[in-house]
Amino acid sequence: EIPEIASPTRTKAIMEAYGLTFKKSLGQNFLTDINVLKKIVSAAQVSTDDDVIEIGPGIGALTEQLAKKAHQVLALEIDERLLPVLSETLAPYSNIQVVHQDILKADLEKLIARYFDGKHNLKIVANLPYYITTPIIMHLLSTKVKLAGIVVMMQKEVANRLAAKPGTKDYGSLSIAIQYEMDCEVAFIVPKTVFVPQPKVDSAIISLTMKEHKSEMPQDETHFHKLVKGAFMHRRKSLWNNLQGLYGKEADIKESIEKALQLAQIEPSIRAERLTITEFVKLSDALLVNGL
């Protein structure tokens, strides 16, 4: 019987057989621990009810474990060199499609319509290339496709920022951008030692699920996101200072900011990191009402 792709010896043997080196520029740190891979698949609760999209299959270690549980797996890999490897390593599985594709340029709606039957839940499961973790999450958020869940591995620091609660040092515009749309939870931590080559930092598996109803909607989402970014521009400064940085320091503008803060019942001296998403929504609407 062929051993799992994930073992360190098989990973090295495969890379050698194809004369391949790991491309740092593409975030190629491959997982070589079968238990971690299985934990990722069970954190995503993958079953035959699910069609799964994997971002960056590498040599197929996670893809293989997904295929054992899922209905169908679609794996998107940017590195052309890995395609012949994947067609060999994944040959035993009839429910996997590998496509040569940059995830950031992928039209998920089109891919899904082409490769899936539309009768199954859609999940994203991946060990992400770390150099583009945030752009990938933003790209997934921006698609209109209804995703039943996203379970992805990323740097521990970024995972902590995504899942951070108000009042903590990790809480910022990224936490709000994500949590506005999704419930977000760190499932478990993965030590850097289970990767080949070993990255500099530990990793975490994060589980994201679309909120059934966005709890609170600002009148203008673009305005809301601009406000959140601006409010965190200088973390050490007060909200009052950052709002002036965002809207201006002229007397009439200051007056409007003051009125908006009053209307939203928010202390000007507070720091942005103390504000909940609900408060940001209130503030965004109050600023609009006051012409900002």
Which range, of 22-30, 90-98, 222-230, 234-242, touches ligand SAM by CB under 6 A? 22-30
130: DSSP letter:
G
- Rounded to a whole number of angstroms, the minimum distance from the CB of residue 290 to ligand SAM is 42
Query: 125, 44 in Cβ contact below 8 A?
Result: yes
Nearer residue to ligand SAM within complex by CB, 151 or 164? 151
Determine whether the annotation assigns residue 29 to a binding site: yes
Tell me how far, at minimum, the Cβ of 231 lies from ligand SAM, in Å: 31
79 near ligand SAM (CB under 6 A): yes
**Residue holding tokens 């997934």?**
140
199, 211, 208, 219: which is closest to 260 by C-alpha?
219
Length of the chain: 292
Kindly tell me which of 124 and 283 has the beta carbon lying closer to ligand SAM: 124
Residue nearest to ligand SAM (CB): 56
Task: State yes or no: 31 annotated in a binding site.
Answer: yes
| 242 annotated to bind ligand | no
By beta-carbon proximity to ligand SAM, the closer residue of 100 and 249 is 100
Encode 81-107 in three state secondary structure. CHHHHHHHHCCCCCCEEEEECCHHHCC
Residues of span 87-126 touching ligand SAM by CB under 6 A: 102-104
127 is in an annotated binding site: yes
Q: Is residue 183 a known part of a binding site?
A: no
CA distance 74 to 126: 11
Window 119-148: residues binding ligand SAM (CB under 6 A): 127, 129, 132
Q: Which run of H or E residues covers position 65?
A: helix 61-69
Question: Residue 241: CB partners within 8 Å, gap ≥ 6?
Answer: 234
- Binding residues for ligand SAM restricted to 28-67, rule: CB under 6 A: 28-31, 55-58, 61-62
102 is in an annotated binding site: yes
The 10 Å Cβ neighbour count of residue 74 is 25
Span near ligand SAM by CB under 6 A; candidates 75-83, 203-211, 253-261, 267-275: 75-83
Distance CA(101)–CA(220), nearest Å, equals 34
- Residue 70 is given by DSSP the state S
Which of 21, 26, 51 shows the shortest CA–CA distance to 136?
26
CA distance 283 to 288: 9
Interface segment toward ligand SAM; rule CB under 6 A; list 73-81, 218-226, 230-238, 265-273: 73-81
Task: Point out the annotated binding site.
Answer: 29, 31, 56, 77, 102, 127
Residues that bind ligand SAM (CB under 6 A): 26-31, 55-58, 61-62, 76-79, 102-104, 127, 129, 132
Q: Which residues are annotated as a binding site for S-adenosyl-L-methionine?
A: 29, 31, 56, 77, 102, 127
